[in-house]
């Protein structure tokens, strides 16, 4: 996430990733597990102005509960 524009930007090359890390940007990947306030989520989608998360382990919970 570019903190100057508050937008998520695609980092298409290894050099772009390294440049973003050098700037201190937060970097997210689809499928990555993240923890927010002690709750685990998986990054489901990244758009320029939003990050969509789903609860981690949701598929396992659905299987256990019969949903």
Domain boundaries, the chain: 14-65
The mean pLDDT value of the chain amounts to: 87
Distance CA 53, CA 66 (A): 23
**DSSP secondary structure letter of residue 62:** H
Q: Per-residue pLDDT tens for 2-56?
A: 999 999 999 999 999 999 999 999 999 999 999 999 999 999 999 999 999 999 9
Q: Per-residue pLDDT tens for 35-48?
A: 999 999 999 999 99
Reply yes or no on whether the pLDDT at 62 is more than 70.
Answer: no
Predicted TM-score (pTM) above 0.75: no
8: phi > 0 → left, psi -120 to 50 → alpha, else beta; which?
Answer: beta
Greatest alpha-carbon pair distance for the chain in Å reads 46
């Amino acid at each position: 996430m570019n903190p100057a524009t508050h937008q998520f930007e695609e980092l298409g090359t290894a050099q772009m990733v390294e440049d973003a890390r050098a700037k201190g940007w937060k970097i997210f990947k689809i499928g990555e597990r993240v923890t927010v306030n002690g709750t685990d989520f998986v990054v489901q989608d990244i758009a320029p102005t939003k990050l969509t998360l789903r609860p981690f382990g949701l598929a396992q919970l659905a299987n256990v509960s019969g949903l």
